[in-house]
Copies of this chain bind each other. A is one copy, B any other.
């Protein structure tokens, strides 16, 4: 059950502990901001030296506070942190925002102090944001507990970086957007990202949640909370740092946190329906595009322009961002022809070809046709529109007509015009003149206007992503841990889990070898066991035709490698088959993950793999296979029959379930899993337990 965070976001009484008179100090900036809300909350300032701050009285100690205090923000040096916390708890604080740094992020001793304090705070029924955070703001309740001011609006910003929130505030306000709540996550010693997502999803003033995070902590709970927020109608946009090697280095040292692998984060996003972005500007652009509901129901866009250059560039950019620019139907082209002049191009891109310069209403007429057709999911307008009303155009007198066209377009975009039965397609506009009056009319009418075509296309593409492409299944109860992790144990475990293997016998002597040769059918494969990469070490001999050949190979490998044992196996017929790699890794944040890719050397070179949170069912596994770049090699192609994808999916699902039930296993792998037209057979197996 969620804890009550109301004292954080709408406290009746606030104390600023560590308020300062020195304008170069944080405690001063904090007090200045907090005072802006003094009419709504009872506000008290604590300063060791006493005196007044901006004409407001202070007390010298938390003990002098006039209780009860609902929320205390603490910005004292770390040496005085315990005293401040205990003091405000004694005054009845139900929530603490801890700016103070030098605790959990500063080594083992700090972590111990932090943990002890969190235990006291929880015992008192209170909550704490931080420590090592940059504050908290709720613009709807005048709760201003940060050094900075944020333009009010509908975006909740939950950020592990304060500077990032400052940047986002500027980017959002430049787009006519603003912030409902800002919470700096800090060390997440008590209140976590997960609880804050839940609280903001329940906040009526919050229309969308923007998250910047380096450390997900409990990744599965994050997935559940974000998925619930999205499902309940609050989009979540996620900027998760750490895709790069260098960033991982930075993040580890930055807040003493592990950065989860980018690919696992992407897999988590696929489950949540959160939209993932890479930079602050993308974050702001996606939030802008999200404001223009509905979002595109598919990836087909019509490009509308007046002048070929912008149209051609927009098509290139749209396709590069993963959108499609389909040719329009003959019927729609005919309607566009009726609305435009003879030079206009109507195939898509739709290029007015100078018609706009004669008659700005031609933009609106073409737009109406596109809005009414059902061959595209969104409209991307690009180029000069805005110029005639910008005051910078060489031709004069067209401004009013352009503004009228903008009004018409905004009305059609909003769908309040009966003509053509508008389907309310979302629209993004790129303009050379984004601040021109006609563009302001569009923006005020809910049509987002961008200065750069790549931003407009990227935002449309991001919000057009199917909101949820995967599901997260519950973790199964942990099974009996594996006793051994050697090759034969791994084979046995996976076979018990439902994976089909080639027939094999582990042998430790020439006698056992002879028995195995009798029991199995040639040709044989002989593997030296107890080596990490058997084939790299030359520990595998394939295509052995007879028992004698087997003896020879055995003697050779034994003298070369002296392995503790061997595996004699029937050799699979690789013809007509495809080799996959199937593996699982227990991620420290997100738990079990499953991976599938084209096997063999191609895996290393092409990195053509798909990753999902484990366990996955067979349908999900089949979708993963279908998303491989090399997926066409699984189907019928160039005269080769299709392989048994269902059997492959079954094997992936079974291995993912096995991995999810074995938290003691760090990594497991079947490589290769041979898929033929008639089934899936594992040719190797590996388990690595956590160290």
**Which residues of A are in contact with B by a Cβ distance under 8 Å?**
23-26, 28-29, 32-33, 147-148, 159-164, 166-167, 170, 212, 214, 239, 241-247, 249-251, 253-255, 259, 278-282, 303, 306-313, 315-320, 325-327, 345, 347-349, 351, 353, 383-384, 387, 394-398, 432-433, 451-454, 535-536, 538, 601-602, 604-606, 629-630, 632-633, 637-639
Among A161, A239, A306, A348, max chain B CB count under 10 A is at A161
Minimum CB–CB distance for A653 against chain B, Å: 25
Q: Do the beta carbons of B398 and A309 come within 8 Å of each other?
A: no
* Pair A629/B601 contact, Cβ less than 8 Å: no
Check if A308 sits within 8 Å of B243, measured CB to CB: no
Give A187 Cβ to nearest chain B Cβ, in Å: 13
Selected contact of A244 from candidates B167, B246, B320, CB within 8 Å: B320
* Min CB–CB distance A253 → chain B (angstroms): 5
Does the CB pair B162–A212 fall under 8 Å? no
Q: Which residue, of A159, A164, A246, has the highest number of chain B Cβ atoms within 10 A?
A: A246
A387 to B433, CA, bound (A): 27
CB distance from A141 to the nearest CB of B (A): 20
CB of A10, distance to nearest CB on chain B (Å) = 23
A639 and B538 contact, CB distance less than 8 A: yes
List of B residues within 8 angstroms of A345 by Cβ: 250, 253-254
User: What B residues does A604 contact at CB under 8 A?
Assistant: 632, 637
**Cβ contact within 8 Å between A319 and B246:** yes
A315 to B259, CA, bound (A): 13
Q: Give every chain B residue within 8 A of A630 (Cβ-Cβ).
A: 602, 605-606
Find chain B residues with CB under 8 A from A327 CB. Answer: 246, 249
Take A316-B278, A345-B254 as given contacts and tell me if A214 and B162 are in contact as well, using a CB distance cutoff of 8 Å: no
Alpha-carbon distance A454/B281, docked complex (angstroms): 9
Name the B residues within 8 Å of A303 (CB-CB).
246, 250
CB pair B310–A639 under 8 Å, yes or no, is no
With A163-B432, A384-B166, A629-B606: A243-B316 Cβ-Cβ less than 8 Å:
yes
Residues of B within 8 A of A170 (CB): 432-433
Q: Which of B250, B325, B633 contacts A245 (CB 8 A)?
A: B325
Q: How far is the CB of A342 from chain B (nearest CB, A)?
A: 10
- Further pairs besides A33-B394, A160-B309, A254-B353: 12, Cβ < 8 Å: A162-B309, A163-B383, A241-B312, A242-B312, A244-B319, A245-B319, A249-B348, A250-B351, A278-B313, A279-B317, A605-B629, A605-B633
